[in-house]
Structure 1
Amino acid sequence: MTCLDSRNLSLATNSDLAAERYRQGVDLLLSAWPGAAERLDQALAADPDFALAHAARARLHAIRGELPHARKRIEAAEALVARQGHAREQSHVDILSLVIQGRSAEALKQICTHLDSWPRDILIFSLPLGAFGLFAFSGMAAHDQARVDLCERHARHFEADDWWFLTYRGWAHTENGNLVLGRDLTQRGLELRIENANAAHALAHALYEAGEIEETEAVISQWLPGYDCSGTLHGHIAWHAALAALERGDVERALTIYTESIRPEVSLGLPINVVSDTASFLWRLQAYGHAVPDGLWEEAAAYSEDYFQKPGLAFIDVHMAILAAATGDSSALERRVEALKHLDESGALGAGPVAPALCQAVQAFAEEQYRNCIGILEPVADEVVRIGGSGAQREMVEDMRLLAFMQGGEAIKARDLLDRRLHRRPSPRDLRWREAVTR
């Protein structure tokens, strides 16, 4: 009897136990739920020559930033598929190898070809999707639409109750502005598999983007206690709750959430989330006129020193610039800007000139050089999407631009931007700011 994965694709293993543990491990990986590593290790214990289990383990290591382990695992998978001769598994492993090597453009091209033949290969399908997926970090301006297009191209291959596809398809539509459809799809995905952190996260985005601030907090407060703090998205989903509290002006609640779930001392999330969540929350707290408690900026900056020192990932470069500016490390910020400019000139920076520009704008804003900040941000305002991440994460840049208008004597521009934001989404904070600039 042929062993199958969770979407009925054949697996090159003769062990029913290995196949079962692999199915469980991949589903846990794709729902950002604890236990994936243990299940995949059990699959390999049952069949040490199970190439796709090695490959999935490599993917998990790569997600955690454990690149030496990821390379070792993917090399084992490559050796196995080379002699086993299964076309899908060979392509599957090749794509994961490209991703681990950082050859993202090649991986994206091969993924599209792979999915034309095997659209239900969900581990490969997941790679271009999400806020930190290959599309988001490709530097392309239309990555939100690209995710929708990919999902819709292959939607006919998935059952109506496929929790994984509902989750990622819903996320894609939410980020592309179709909030009603995005919320509906994501909510169904969560209902079908409540132990699905990616769906809870995507639903929080859909609610936040729709201006349903209190419902955002209610959904998170109900769901999050059932998600172990070792889950990779625990701190980030708490970050969404903290943002919602800030929206309402409940600073005490926001700081409590930050202290208990987000700060580096307590979060067990991925470094990319810990660095971006801490930097962006503290920036918002301070920019919105509230005091940042002593030591929090320094704590976040100290954590970041072990990660992302090499410039080139535009999304994280902006957050590293925020930490440097907040702690007065102007030389580190200047070095990052110069390095990004060199990368851009060489054609190696996917996001292009918007990356160094945003870092410079961060410095100008921190120094209260608001006119200078406006002059930097205005020409690149339509290019910010190229740094990747989600709309909620990139909103910080728009907030910076808006506050620079307000502080830099550009009341008319501030009102125009606020009116566009309020038309898109009702926001208690924007309403307060609109009243302030109208006085």
Structure 2
Amino acid sequence: MAHLDSRGLPISTASNLAAERYREGIDLMLSTWPGAAEVLEEAIAADPDFALAHAARARQHAMRSEPALAKARIATAVELVVRRGTDRERSHVETLSLVINGRSAEALDRVSAHADTWPRDVVILSLPLGAFGLLAFSGRADHDKARVDLCERHASHFAADDWWFLTYRGWSHAENGNVAHGRDLTQRGFDLRPRNANAAHALSHAMYEGGANDEAERLIQAWLPTYDRSGILHGHIAWHAALAALEHGNTERALAIYGEHVQPSVSTGNAINVVSDTASFLWRLQAYGHPVPKGLWQAAAAYAAPSFPGAGFAFVDIHMALLAAATGDREGLERRVSALMGMIEDGTLAAGPVVPTICRATLAFADGDYAGCARILEPAASEVVRVGGSGAQRELVEDMLLLALMRSGEAAKAGALLDRRLHRRPSPRDKAWHGLLAA
């Protein structure tokens, strides 16, 4: 009898143990839950020629920001799947190989074709989804809608109790503005598998987008202790709690959460989360008028510098700009902008001109040139979505524009922007800012 994966697709292994461990390892990986690597290694030990297990291990290395190990593992999988693998497994491994080797545009096309043939191959279907998925980092302005379209196109192939699909279908709807529906779907996914960091994360986002900040804070406070600190998303989900505390003006609690869970010396997240979480939290703290304790900016910048030395990763570039501006590294920021402009000229920066624009605006804001910041940023505001990430992460750029407008005397423009934000998502901070403008 052929072995099947957790969604009923045949897998090429004769080992009962390898099949069992593979199913378990994939579900742990899709939950961003500790233990996936160890369980997948058990699958490989039980069947060293099991290509899909090697491919999953490669994916896990990539998720852990271990590119050399990921490339070595996927190369092994490519070699093995030729000798023993179905058409689906060969396409699966080849698609992951494109992703791991940085050929994202090709991978996105390949995912679409693969999912049309094998929609229940969830490892591959997961690749375009999420805040850091192939669609988010494609440079497309419509990537939020594209995720919804992808999920809805394949929804009929998933059972009503598939916790993974419910989570990502819900996330996609919430990020695309259908917040109530998205929250309902995500809640169902979370209830089915609470030991799922992606579901806890997606649900906190849906709550945030719906203006239910207090509920999000309570959710994280109750759930985070169940998630081991070694989990990739531990620091990032704590970052959400720190932002919620900051939203209420409780800077002491926000800084305590940052110090215990988020800062580089304690976080076990991957580099993109650590850099973006630290830079954006410290920027918000300072921009909202609170002092940043001595050494925090420097520690974040010291961690980030070797992690992302070059330009071209749009989402990271804007956070590197925050760090450079805050630490006075004008030369480094201008060097990054120059490199980004060169990539625009040769057509290799998918997100386009909005990336150096945000970097320049960041420097103007740090210099106290609020009119200049607003002048740079306002025409590009609708293009910020191209850098990827979540709506909550990109909101930092909108905050920068809003504060620049307020501080440069553009009360009417600031008020109009606040009105739109309050209509979309009421928040304590926006209400307070609206009161300042009205006073």
TM bucket normalised to smaller: over 0.9
Q: After superposition, what is the alpha-carbon deviation per residue over 1:241-280, rounded to whole angstroms, capped at 9, x for unaligned?
A: 1111111111111111101100011100111000000000
Using the alignment, how far apart are the partners of 1:284 and 1:196 within structure 2?
28
Q: Confirm whether residue 208 of structure 1 aligns to residue 204 of structure 2.
A: no
Match in the other structure for 1:75:
75
- Single out whichever of 73-82 and 134-143 deviates more from structure 2: 73-82
Match in the other structure for 2:353:
353
Deviation (angstroms), 1:107: 0.6
Using the alignment, how far apart are the partners of 1:107 and 1:25 within structure 2?
23
Partner SS state of residue 211, structure 1: coil
Partner SS state of residue 389, structure 1: coil
TM-score by length of 2: 0.99
TM-score by length of 1: 0.99
Q: After superposition, what is the alpha-carbon deviation per residue over 1:327-356, rounded to whole angstroms, capped at 9, x for unaligned?
A: 001000000000000001110000000001
Amino acid at match of 2:23: R
Match in the other structure for 2:38:
38
- Counterparts of 1:267-286 in structure 2, within 5 Å, are 267-286=267-286
Percent sequence identity over matched residues?
Answer: 67
Match in the other structure for 2:229:
229
Deviation (angstroms), 1:205: 0.2
Deviation (angstroms), 1:85: 4.4
Using the alignment, how far apart are the partners of 1:266 and 1:212 within structure 2?
28
Match in the other structure for 2:247:
247
Match in the other structure for 2:437:
437
- Counterparts of 1:41-52 in structure 2, within 5 Å, are 41-52=41-52
Amino acid at match of 1:125: L
Deviation (angstroms), 1:437: 1.2
- Counterparts of 1:380-399 in structure 2, within 5 Å, are 380-399=380-399
Amino acid at match of 2:128: P
Amino acid at match of 1:191: D
Q: After superposition, what is the alpha-carbon deviation per residue over 1:370-409, rounded to whole angstroms, capped at 9, x for unaligned?
A: 1111111011110000000000000000000000001111
Amino acid at match of 1:190: F
Using the alignment, how far apart are the partners of 2:30 and 2:165 within structure 1?
10
Match in the other structure for 2:290:
290
Segments of 5+ residues of structure 1 without an aligned counterpart are none
Amino acid at match of 1:428: P
Deviation (angstroms), 1:425: 1.0
Q: Confirm whether residue 321 of structure 1 aligns to residue 325 of structure 2.
A: no
Match in the other structure for 2:126:
126
Amino acid at match of 2:341: K
Deviation (angstroms), 1:306: 1.8
Partner SS state of residue 305, structure 1: helix
Amino acid at match of 1:29: M
- Single out whichever of 63-72 and 314-323 deviates more from structure 2: 63-72
Using the alignment, how far apart are the partners of 1:227 and 1:83 within structure 2?
39
Match in the other structure for 1:311:
311
Q: After superposition, what is the alpha-carbon deviation per residue over 1:99-118, rounded to whole angstroms, capped at 9, x for unaligned?
A: 01111111111111111110
Q: After superposition, what is the alpha-carbon deviation per residue over 1:123-166, rounded to whole angstroms, capped at 9, x for unaligned?
A: 00000000000000000000000000000000000000000000
Using the alignment, how far apart are the partners of 1:74 and 1:426 within structure 2?
46
Using the alignment, how far apart are the partners of 2:85 and 2:101 within structure 1?
23
Question: Does the CA contact (< 8 Å) of 2:51 and 2:85 recur in 1?
Answer: no
Amino acid at match of 2:224: L
Q: Confirm whether residue 64 of structure 1 aligns to residue 64 of structure 2.
A: yes
Using the alignment, how far apart are the partners of 1:378 and 1:267 within structure 2?
34
Using the alignment, how far apart are the partners of 1:40 and 1:350 within structure 2?
34
Match in the other structure for 2:112:
112
How many equivalent residue pairs? 439
Using the alignment, how far apart are the partners of 2:314 and 2:328 within structure 1?
21
Amino acid at match of 2:136: A
Using the alignment, how far apart are the partners of 1:305 and 1:414 within structure 2?
34
Match in the other structure for 2:372:
372
Partner SS state of residue 307, structure 2: coil
Q: After superposition, what is the alpha-carbon deviation per residue over 1:16-55, rounded to whole angstroms, capped at 9, x for unaligned?
A: 1000000111111110000000000000000000000000
Deviation (angstroms), 1:308: 1.0
Structure 1 stretches of 4+ moved >4 Å: none
Deviation (angstroms), 1:83: 1.8
- Single out whichever of 244-253 and 141-150 deviates more from structure 2: 244-253
Q: Confirm whether residue 263 of structure 1 aligns to residue 263 of structure 2.
A: yes
Match in the other structure for 2:416:
416
Using the alignment, how far apart are the partners of 2:59 and 2:30 within structure 1?
11
Amino acid at match of 1:82: V
Match in the other structure for 2:16:
16
Match in the other structure for 1:143:
143
Using the alignment, how far apart are the partners of 1:261 and 1:105 within structure 2?
34
Partner SS state of residue 44, structure 2: helix
Amino acid at match of 1:143: H
Q: Confirm whether residue 425 of structure 1 aligns to residue 417 of structure 2.
A: no
Partner SS state of residue 365, structure 2: helix
Segments of 5+ residues of structure 2 without an aligned counterpart are none
Amino acid at match of 2:381: A
Using the alignment, how far apart are the partners of 1:30 and 1:54 within structure 2?
16
Q: Confirm whether residue 178 of structure 1 aligns to residue 178 of structure 2.
A: yes
Using the alignment, how far apart are the partners of 1:228 and 1:251 within structure 2?
25
Partner SS state of residue 89, structure 1: helix
Using the alignment, how far apart are the partners of 1:114 and 1:424 within structure 2?
36
Amino acid at match of 1:245: A
Amino acid at match of 2:195: E
Using the alignment, how far apart are the partners of 2:305 and 2:410 within structure 1?
37
